[in-house]
Amino acid sequence: MKNERMKYLVEILNQAAKAYYAEDREIMSNFEYDALYDELVALEAETGVTLSNSPTIRVGYEAVDELPKERHETPMLSLGKTKSREELRSWLGGHEAVLSWKLDGLTVVLTYEDGKLSKAVTRGNGEIGEVITGNARTFQNVPLSIPFKGKMVLRGEAVISYSDFEAMNAEIADEEAKYKNPRNLCSGSVRQLNSEITAKRKVRFYAFQLVSAEGTEEELALVTERFAYLSKLGFDVVEHYVVTEDTILDRISSFEKAIESYDIPSDGLVLEYNDVAYGASLGRTAKTPKHSIAFKWADELRETTLLEIEWSASRTGLINPVAIFEPVELEGTTVSRASVHNISIVKSLKLGIGDKITVYKANMIIPQIAENLTCSDSLEIPCTCPVCGGRTEIRQANEAQSLYCVNEACPAKQIKSFTQFVSRDAMNIDGLSEATLEKFVDLGLIHEFADLYHLEEHRDKICEMEGFGEKSYNNLISSIDASRKTTLPRIIYGLGIANIGVANAKMLSKYFGYDMEAVLAADAEELAAIDKVGEVIAKAFVEYTHNAENQRIIRKLLSEVTIEIPVIEEGSQTLEGCIFVITGSLNHFENRNELKDLIESKGGKVTGSVTGKTTCLINNDITSTSGKNKKAKELGVPILSEDDFLEQYGLK
C-alpha cells in the first residue's frame, strides 16, 4: 500500500538524517538515501499526501503567548455511556454498526482547505476549543497536505502510546517528577505554547470521524467508507469492525483481550450506526447524539475497610498518602494498598480510619479507591514528618495540594538519596539495603556520600549491629572498595539530580567527553540546547551542580573515587543505531544489566518496551505468550534467543 510505503520511507530517511547530521555516522550511502528520497517525493506527488515528519518538508516551530479560543462549527457532544454488553447489543435495534476503540487522549478537530492543514482546535468544552494548529503540525503522523481540494473537517484523538510514555519516564530519575499517565502527558503536550516541546512528546493522531468533506456526502454514505477514505488520504484511523446483533458480543470480547497488550491508551469502545444518514436522522438529546454510544469497561469493585493511611516520605520531601485496607481479590490478585496520591484527593474522599470504601483497579492494573461509603472525614493530616518529626506543610501546585516535610536534614531525604547512590545503576555497592542505610544514618556513621568510603573507621560498631558480623562487614568493605573505580555516568546518576535517569546520565557524560569538570561548569543554556535535555532538565541540573554545598559534597566524593574514561576503539561500535529489548532469564550473563552494558559498549541502545523501532527482542523463551513477545510478533520485530543474538551480532 502506497501510504504504508511512505510511512516507512519517512521513518528510515529520518533515521538516516539523524545519524548523519547529529551523530556523525552513516547507516546508508548517499546513493541509497537519494534513491529512497526520490521515491518518497514521487509518492507524495502521486498521492497528494505529505506527512508531518516527512524529510521533504521542514516544519518550523511556533511559540505563542497564549492559545486563542475558537467556537466549533458543529458542537461536540458527549456520548451516552453504558457498561452493559446486552444494552449495547439491544441498542443496535437490528441495524449494522461500527465498533471501535474509545482512545484516551485529547480530542482534536482538524480542518483542511485546498489540500492543506489550515486549523487544529481542541475539543474544549464542546462549544469552544483552543487553537493548536502549530502543535498539530508536529504530531508524528498528521498529513500536512492531502489530495482533497475542498474544505474537509475531521475529528480524532491525540494520544501518546504506553511505550513512548514509558521511554520518556525512563529518562527521569526522580519518582515524583515522572509523568503520571499518558493521557495527562498528552493533554499537556498538545496544549503547549511552544510547539517544539510538543514535537518532542511523540504525539500521534487517530481519526475517528469525518465530519464533512465538500461533495462526498453521497459517495461516502457509510462510516466504514469514510474510514477507508480517510485512510486513503494518509490518516491513521482508529481500529474498527462492522458488527451486528449476532456478532457484537464476540467482538467486544476480542477487544477486551486485546486491551491487555494494546499500546495506545483506551478507556472503552464506541458503537456508531454504519449508515450515516440513518444515524443523523435520529437527532440528539440536549447533551448527547443518538447515532453513537460509548461502552465503558465495567470495573470490578470490592467493598473493604480502611485500616490506616501510611504516610511515605521521599528524598524530595514529598509525603505520599497510601491507603491500607483489608485485603480483597481484584482482577485475579489480592490487593491491600492503594495510593491516594495527594492531600486534595484525601479531602475529596472524606476519609477516616474504619470507613467502608470500595476499591478497583484502574485500567485493570492500578489499585484505586472508587468511593468512600462512610465519609467520616475524620482523618488528620500529619503536621509532623513520619520520619524526622519535623514540621510539614501543604503546598499547592497545578490545582492539587500535597504534603511536604520542610526539614532539609530529614533522614528520609538522606536515606532515599543514599539508596539511589549505592544502587546497581549507580555505584553498585552490595550489602547496603535501605534498612541498613537507615541504621547507619541513625548511628551517625554517614552524613554524605564520601562517608561511605570511611566506614572502616566504624568497624566495631558495624560488626555489633544486628544482622552484621565479621563476614558481612568484610564483604561490605570489599564492595565499597570495588566501587572506587567507577564511571562518570554512574556518578551523575548516583547523585540523584531531579530528572536525571540512567540514560540522561550516559548521554551527558558522552556529550561532555567524560569530563566531570566540564559537566559541573555547564550552564543552563548550554544544557538546554542538547538533544533530549530541554529547559526543565537543564534548570534542575544547574540548580543542583551550582549549589555551593552540593559542589562541596561532589568534590569530597571525587577525592574518594577514580573515574575511568572509556576508550572507544575504531570499528568497535558494531551495534550503533540498533535498539534492543531484553526480557526473561539469561544463561551467559549474571543479569540483564550485564548484557545491557555489553550492548551499550558496542554503541547499541537497550529500552524497556518493544516498539516499531526495536531491532530485536532478546528472550530465551521464544514461544512465550508474554506481552513483550506478543508485541514483537504484532510489529514484526525478530525475537532471538541469547545464543542466536550473540552469534548474529558477532559477540560470541
What is the Cα 104 distance to its own chain's centre? Answer: 14
DSSP 8-state code for residue 590: S
372 - beta bridge partners? 357
d(CA 132, CA 431): 53
Counting residues of the chain whose pLDDT is more than 70, the rounded percentage is: 92
Checking if the pLDDT of 379 tops 90, the result is yes
What pLDDT, on a 0 to 100 scale, did the predictor assign at position 173?
62
- The mean per-residue pLDDT over the stretch 71-92 comes to 87
Which among 40, 103, 170 has a CA at the least distance from the CA of 507? Answer: 170
**Residue 493 or 313, more confident:** 493
Per-residue pLDDT at 206: 96
pLDDT at residue 539 greater than cutoff 90: no
Residue 348 carries which side chain, given as an amino acid letter? S
Mean pLDDT of 398-403: 77
Cell numbers linked to 315: 528524598
Backbone angles phi, psi at 103, to 5 degrees: -75, 150
Rg of the Cα atoms in the chain:
28
Angle CA 419–425–430, to nearest 5: 60
Q: Is 618 left (phi over 0), alpha (psi -120 to 50) or beta?
A: beta
Which residues on adjacent β-strands are paired with residue 154? 110, 210
How large is the average pLDDT for residues 469-473? 88
Other CB atoms within 10 A of residue 471 CB: 9
Alpha-carbon distance 478 to 275, whole Å?
74
Output the CA torsion sign for 426, 429, 433, 439: negative
Quick one: DSSP state of residue 169? H
Helices (H), 443-515: 459-464, 470-482, 488-494, 502-511
How far apart CA 275 and CA 25 sit, in angstroms, is 53
* Higher-confidence position of 606 and 547: 547
Residue 59 reports pLDDT greater than 60: no
pLDDT at 21: 43
Q: Say what the pLDDT of residue 56 is.
A: 77
Q: What is the mean pLDDT of the chain?
A: 85
Which distant-in-sequence residues (6+ apart) come within 8 Å of 603 by Cβ? 572, 573, 574, 575, 576, 577, 578
* pTM exceeds cut of 0.75: no
H helix intervals, 73-178: 85-91, 133-136, 162-170
pLDDT greater at residue 174 or residue 118: 118
Which residues partner with 194 through β-bridges? 63
User: How far apart are alpha carbons 14 and 292 in whole angstroms?
Assistant: 39
E strands, 274-363, are 292-295, 302-313, 318-330, 333-339, 356-362
Confidence of residue 93 (pLDDT cuts 50, 70, 90): very high
Let me know how many helices (H) and strands (E) the chain has, helices first.
24, 26
What is the C-alpha to C-alpha distance for residues 327 and 337, in angstroms, rounded to an integer? 8
352, 325 Cβ separation under 8 angstroms = no
Burial of 352 (0-12, 13-18, 19+ CB in 10 A): middle
| Confidence band, pLDDT 50/70/90 cuts, at residue 374 | very high
Residues 67 and 484: their CA atoms lie apart, in Å, by 52
Instruction: Work out whether strand 318-330 and strand 400-405 pair parallel, antiparallel, or are unpaired.
Output: antiparallel
Q: What is the mean pLDDT of residues 341-364?
A: 86
For residues 553 and 449, the answer to whether their CB atoms sit within 8 Å is yes
Torsions phi, psi of 91, nearest 5? -60, -30
CA distance 287 to 527: 49
Residues making up the chain, counted from first to last: 652
Which residue's C-alpha cell is 479531602? 347
Quote the Cα angle for 331-333-336, to 5°.
Answer: 110
3-state secondary structure of 588: coil
Query: How confident is residue 622, by pLDDT bands cut at 50, 70 and 90?
Result: confident
Between 532 and 262, name the one with better pLDDT: 262
**In this structure, are residues 524 and 542 in contact, taking their beta carbons and an 8 Å threshold?**
yes
> How many angstroms separate the CA atoms of 519 and 535, rounded?
16
pLDDT band at 614 (very low <50, low <70, confident <90, very high): confident
Most confident range, picked from 21-25, 107-111, 252-256, 293-297: 107-111
pLDDT in tens, 418-455: 988 999 889 999 888 888 888 888 788 888 899 999 99
Instruction: Tell me how far apart the alpha carbons of residues 144 and 112 are, in angstroms, rounded to a whole number.
Output: 9
Tell me the pLDDT band of 24, cut-offs 50, 70 and 90: very low
For the chain, the first-to-last Cα distance in angstroms comes to 40
> In this model, does residue 571 exceed pLDDT 60?
yes
How confident is the model at residue 287, as a pLDDT? 67
Query: Active-site positions?
Result: 102
Q: How many Å apart are CA 491 and CA 514, to the nearest integer?
A: 11
Q: For the chain, how long is the longest CA-to-CA vector?
A: 89
The closest alpha carbon to 371, from 307, 294, 306, belongs to: 306
Q: Encode pLDDT of 219-243 as tens digits.
A: 899 999 999 999 999 999 999 999 9
CA dihedral 356, 338, 163, 649 (to 10 degrees): -140
- Higher per-residue confidence, 313 vs 163: 163
* Amino acid 177: pLDDT: 65
Q: Helices in 23-160 by DSSP H: which ranges? A: 30-47, 85-91, 133-136
How is residue 620 written as a grid cell? 530465551
Q: What is the pLDDT of residue 30?
A: 56
pLDDT at residue 324 in the model: 94
